[in-house]
Structure 1
Amino acid sequence: MRRALVLTNEAARHPFRASLPMFVFAIGEMENRRSWRLNFGLNVNDARHFAATYVASFVAVSTFIA
């Protein structure tokens, strides 16, 4: 089994990041990352539906309380 002499990345500047393996900091990795919006599949239509549901719920609860 091959093991590195230095187990931490001294350039990471944070204990958690220093404990991560070196392949996490690969140079070409940033081009392959997708936006969080693409990962969740959210679009403008989903935001519209969420806003409509929020407003309808708010009006219903406000009517019930009043």
Structure 2
Amino acid sequence: MRSQTLLTAATPRHPFRARIAPAPKVKTAHPDDSDLKLFALSFTAFFVCIYTLIF
């Protein structure tokens, strides 16, 4: 027969874990246009390199 005890994610299962403070929540970065800036910088650097090799 199965045990009726259910462990939730919030309850520490080991006595050592029960004494440790819970981990702080990680703040997520706000979405911004950093991907667009990286693309523009990479494209410009590639263009300058190719342009200097051709001329």
TM-score class, shorter-chain normalisation, is 0.3 to 0.5
Kindly indicate whether structure 1 or structure 2 has the higher relative contact order, using CA contacts under 8 Å at least 6 residues apart. 1
Scaled by the length of structure 2, the TM-score of the pair is 0.42
Scaled by the length of structure 1, the TM-score of the pair is 0.35
User: Which has the greater radius of gyration?
Assistant: 2
